[in-house]
Amino acid sequence: MPPIVALFLTVTFIVFLYRRDAREKPNVTRALWIPLLWMLILGSRSVAIWLDTLGLPTVFGSLDEGNPLDATVQLTLIAAGVCVLNKRQVSLGEIFRSNKWLMAFLIYCFISIAWSDFPFVAFKRWIKVLGHPIMALIILTEPDPEEALTRLMKRCAYVIIPISILFIKYYPEWGRGFDFWTGAGVNTGITTDKNLLGLDCFVLGLFLFWHLLRTLKGERSKARRNELLLTLGFLYMIWWLLWKANSQTSLISLLIGMATIVLLDLRFVNKRLIGMYVLLVLVALTVEELVFGIYGHVVALTGHDATVAGRAELWAELLALHTNPIFGVGFESFWLGERLKTISESRWWHPTEAHNGYLEIYLDLGLIGLCMLAGLIIATFRKIRLALLSNFQFGRFRLGFLVAALFYNWTESSFRGLSLVWCIFYIIAMDYPRPHQSFAFEALEEEKEWVYAQGES
């Protein structure tokens, strides 16, 4: 098939899916386009890289200063999100009451800017990270937050998955590259790295698997059958992309998340004893690590056995550096300046991250930051445990993603910056009281009018 024909068919397919989504008249508002654009950028390429990919003129900034175009786009989306939340009269006090650990973590990150070697850079990065909770709050203040998240994730998949396949098969100059470690050819799809493509597949695949199980429990109908077929089709495409990306960490994270979701639905699993089950699993994993060295086997499964020695050396070197063990070097400030130059030039693969999310937090925020992250994770788990009793279906997606994300960060760093995993983590970690019925009714009526106008046009 000629590439131009494949491009036309792909765009037609995406337009069809979006129009199908609109015809279903979901209980969401137009404000959902803001987090959608945010997540599409996180799951693909920055605006500047997109312009460069298409052969359009653009300016690339330094690692320290960033790209002015990308910064403008991110700030615009954040400002638009703040305007939406202000219009919805979201209470800052209620945000703090409902999310104490998360707010404390963000405040500590802000305070740590004071002892950063690059305070202005750290401040700009902190502002960007604020985009995650802002996008999460837009979803949580929708008339139906669960439906809003479902539509958001499906709309992301409608773009990321087909275009990734298109790029790999018909536009290899955009969708393929070379492995930084071995020089072998790799598939990157809509992203710029095979691991980022794997990350997209992990996040979207876990959601679509949960959506498939939830749809199976619905009443038999033509709409249910069509939704099942569409979801199965996308899961097949995601599996194909994971095979092409050869990202074993993402694959195993996906399988762990899927297993968690399935186990929670077994009859003999008491939802009120989830905390005890988790504690038993942690004790068992600790014993197995001490006796059998299970971490080494997991590393082999992730495909990092050939490079783990280099990473272990990197971790040892990072821990040996004279950073402040209590407070760290400041929010997202470790990989800057002389530290970056020294560590990057000492290895041919030029690392710019610790390849471990927990070590990354320790280097930037010290033991205090690591303890606060642990507190945030525990607080999130407690929220999810309660949610399993009140809204089981959504609760088990949250727990499945949490478990998978915790594993993913053992060999990758995603508890920082503009990471898709970090963004979804904020969505599952945050709570906010349901919007007033008046707002929900007004939002629904507004959306109905918009959908009707689109149909007329």
Residue 243 lies in a domain: no
The closest alpha carbon to 54, from 171, 152, 148, belongs to 171
The least confident of 191-200, 288-297, 360-369, 379-388 is 288-297
The least confident of 348-357, 414-423, 425-434 is 348-357
Residue 51 lies in a domain: no
Query: The pTM is what?
Result: 0.88
Residue 223 lies in a domain: no
Residue 180 lies in a domain: no
Max Cα distance, the chain (Å): 68
**Which pLDDT tens digit goes with each residue over 319-332?**
888 788 999 999 99
**Which pLDDT tens digit goes with each residue over 113-157?**
999 999 999 999 999 999 999 999 999 999 999 999 999 999 999
Residue 342 lies in a domain: yes
Planar angle of CA 63, 119, 124, nearest 5 degrees: 60
Cα–Cα distance, 209 to 400 (Å, whole number): 11
Q: Do the beta carbons of residue 362 and residue 328 sit within 8 Å?
A: yes
Per-residue pLDDT, 272: 78
Running DSSP on this structure, what letter comes out for residue 24?
A: T
Cα–Cα distance, 351 to 332 (Å, whole number): 15
Per-residue pLDDT, 207: 96
Six token digits for residue 402: 């949490």
Fill in the amino acid letter for 273: L
Residue 140 lies in a domain: no
Per-state percent for the chain, helix, strand, coil, to nearest 5: 75, 0, 25
Span 208-236, mean pLDDT? 93
Cα–Cα distance, 189 to 191 (Å, whole number): 5
Cα–Cα distance, 209 to 277 (Å, whole number): 23
Residue 200 lies in a domain: no
> Residue 430 — very low, low, confident or very high, per pLDDT cuts 50/70/90?
very high
Cα–Cα distance, 74 to 417 (Å, whole number): 12
CB burial string 257-275: b at 16+ within 10 A, e below: bbebbeebeeeeeeeeebe
258 has pLDDT over 80: yes
Residue 79 lies in a domain: no
CA distances from 149 to 229, 385, 426 (A): 20, 19, 12
Per-residue pLDDT, 68: 87
Cα–Cα distance, 375 to 285 (Å, whole number): 20
* Tally of domains within the chain: 1
Most confident of 26-30, 275-279, 300-304: 26-30
Cα–Cα distance, 383 to 387 (Å, whole number): 6
Per-residue pLDDT, 268: 82
**Which pLDDT tens digit goes with each residue over 158-200?**
999 999 999 999 999 998 887 665 667 889 999 988 889 999 9
Per-residue pLDDT, 287: 73
- Which three-class secondary structure state does DSSP give residue 392? helix
> Residue 397 — very low, low, confident or very high, per pLDDT cuts 50/70/90?
very high
- Which residues, including other chains, have CB under 8 Å from residue 435's CB and lie 6 or more apart? 88, 141, 142, 143, 443
354 has pLDDT over 70: yes
Per-residue pLDDT, 425: 96
The least confident of 73-82, 164-173, 280-289, 297-306 is 297-306
- Which residues, including other chains, have CB under 8 Å from residue 163's CB and lie 6 or more apart? 10, 14, 44, 189, 190
315 has pLDDT over 50: yes
Q: Tell me the residue range of the domain where 315 lies.
A: 91-129+268-434
- Percentage of the chain lying above the pLDDT 70 cut: 86
Per-residue pLDDT, 98: 92
- Which residues, including other chains, have CB under 8 Å from residue 390's CB and lie 6 or more apart? none
